[in-house]
Structure formats: C-alpha cells, structure tokens
Amino acid sequence: MIDESARIGLKRAIANIDSLPAMPAIAQKLLALPLDTDEGEVQLLKLIGQDPQIYAKIIGMANSPMMGVSSKVSSVQDAVLLLGMNRVKSVAIGIASMSNLVKLAPAKYFNLQDLWLHSMTIAMVMHIIAKAMPRNLRPGDDQIFLAGLLHDIGFVVLHHINPVASDELHQQLRLQHGRPILDIELETLNITHCFIGAQLAMQWDLPPEIVEVLGYHHSPYVEKNVTGNPLVHLVRLAEKVVSDFGIAEHTDGKIYDHEWVELGISLADVEDIHIQANELALQAAQSGNMF
C-alpha cells in the first residue's frame, strides 16, 4: 500500500505545475495547425510522416474492424480519406500526448495498450452518441475525438510521476471491481486521475472545454457546473454505455433519461445508440494491438 508520505509527495508533485511534463513539440505543432487551408493539410501529413509511432497507430486504426474497410489501408493519405482530416489530427495529438509521457518503468497492473483501446473506443462511442444530437448542439469531430482520447490522460501522468503508485492504484481497481473509481483513488492515493489530468491540461493550455472534460468526466465530488459543455456529458454517457471497457474503471452503468435529453437526444434513438455502441465495442476488442 502507498504510505502517507508517498501520498503527500505525489500531491506536491502535481501542485508544482512546473514539474509536470511539457506538451510534446509535435503535439503543439499539430494542435496549432489550421485545417481549412491546403497548406495546413500538407503540414499535417508531413508531421505524421515524420513520427513512426503516430503513423503506425493511425494506419492501425484505419485497418481495424471498427472501421469496416474491405481493402487494406497502407498510407496516411488513404487513412485521411477514410477517417477525415479532423479526426486524424485529433488522433495524432492523442497519440503524441500519451506516448511521450510513458516511462518504460516495470508495470504489472497498468497497461497503456488497454488504456489506449479504452480511450479510442470511448471517442468512437461519443461520436455515435453525438450523431443523434441536433446539429446546432453537436460538438465538432475534432473536439469529440480529442476529448475522448485525452479524458483519462491523468492515469498516464500518474505513471510518469510515480510508477509504483500507479501500479498500486490499478491493482486496487482490479481487486475492488464494482466500487466507484473515485472512491478507490481517494482511498489509495488521496488524489484522482481527473484532478491530475486537468492540471496537466491547464499547463498545456488546452481549450477550457477539454480541461473540463479531463476534470469532470466522472460525477465530481466538488460541485462544478458543466451543463454548457456537451463534451463532458458525452464522455460520461459513453463510459456508461460501454462500462468497464479496456481498463478496470468502474462507473455506474445506470443512465437516466435526463442525461439523453440534456444533449437534445430523443429517447426513441437510445436503443439504436446502445446497439451501435455494443457492436463497436466488440469490433474494438477484436482490434487488439492494431491500435
């Protein structure tokens, strides 16, 4: 178990914002790229081509069963045609942000591959849910995928700062399956991945709506009005629709009618959303290391 001195040290490390990892240079460049010009699109493809890990993961995503393609995608240009430029940009930012944070420290219980699969699936389920929203209320695809991919980056930051504490937390999540995740985190570490992720997002100067997603995608202990941010509600709903997928992160699976209504979604569409999301989760499980 993590002792009190380790908990205090962890809190101090997070509170000292300068000690948190800087945003990777490639992620900064990708985030700043405008995609409404030909030059922006050319630069995006160039940046992705310069990073073998990002390149391979985008190709893997495009070829996964989730995409339902009949022919093999072998280039980022083909992946862009399939996934869309905005989605590829967000995926590339997510890959760059996560991968740069992970130390190769021994980890028995924390699995980055499982977390990546979880995050990608949540982003895809958010997209399914968002398609049922009125067009004027629906966030852009780039926002949806960036929010979905980064919502649990606090886990990665924790592993970067203190791999032992990270592994202990993920062991407890497995041992206490069924308990709310925030309860286990506060009991084990006296801090949550939501708080850690939000601190990082603020240091990286990510958009405020993304900071709110990282901080409040689980029902918060501190009251925070996020009613004007549909991305927060999309993540919460997605994690309930495909509960405990990829990582041992228990959330209350009960979804209330008002959660759909708040997003402008007709209750008549809910069953179809569940069917599509469950099919996607099965396809994601088959994708394995393709991500």
* In the chain, domain spans: 22-100, 107-290
User: Mutual orientation of helices 208-216 and 193-203 as an angle, nearest 10°?
Assistant: 160
Rounded CA separation 183/187 (Å): 6
pLDDT for 105: 64
What proportion of the chain, given as a percentage, has pLDDT over 90? Answer: 34
Task: Tell me the average pLDDT across 179-194.
Answer: 90
Work out the average pLDDT over 118-137: 93
Task: Of 82-91, 143-152, 244-253, give the lowest mean pLDDT range.
Answer: 244-253
pLDDT in tens, 47-95: 998 888 888 888 888 887 777 666 788 888 888 888 888 888 888 998 8
Architecture of domain 107-290: Orthogonal Bundle (1.10)
Amino acid at 210: I
Residues 6+ apart with CB under 8 A from 110: 155, 159, 163, 166, 167, 169, 170
Which two tokens mark 244?
């405990």
Q: What is the mean pLDDT of residues 224-229?
A: 71
Who has greater pLDDT, 253 or 128?
Answer: 128
Candidates 161, 160, 182; CA nearest to 173 is 182
Q: Tell me what pLDDT residue 235 has.
A: 94
- Using a 10 angstrom Cβ sphere, with 0-12 exposed, 13-18 middle and 19 or more buried, the burial of residue 174 is exposed
Confidence check: pLDDT of 220 > 70: no
* Residue 224 burial (CB count, 10 A): 12
Query: 106: pLDDT confidence band, cut at 50, 70 and 90?
Result: low
> What would the DSSP string read from start to end of 210-250?
HHHHHHHSS--SS----TT-HHHHHHHHHHHHTTT-SS---
Higher pLDDT, 62 or 268: 268
Q: Which residue has the tokens 């997209």?
A: 127
Residue 234: its pLDDT value, please?
95
Ranges 3-7, 38-42, 193-197, 227-231, most confident: 193-197
CB distance 47 to 29 below 8 Å: yes
Residue 230 is predicted with a pLDDT of: 94
More confident residue, 137 or 64: 137
**What's the mean pLDDT when you consider all of the chain?**
85
Q: Quote the pLDDT of residue 70.
A: 65
Whether the pLDDT of residue 143 is over 70: the answer is yes
Q: Is the dihedral of CA 108, 91, 64, 130 positive or negative?
A: positive
> Per-residue pLDDT for 261 more than 60?
yes
The radius of gyration computed from the CA coordinates of the chain, to the nearest angstrom, equals 18
Q: What integer pLDDT is reported at residue 264 of this predicted model?
A: 95
CA gap 261, 133 in Å, rounded:
9
Tokens of 254: 């009960």
Q: pLDDT tens, 200-214?
A: 999 999 999 999 999
* Contacts of 107 by beta carbon, 8 Å cutoff, 6+ apart: 159, 163, 166, 167, 170
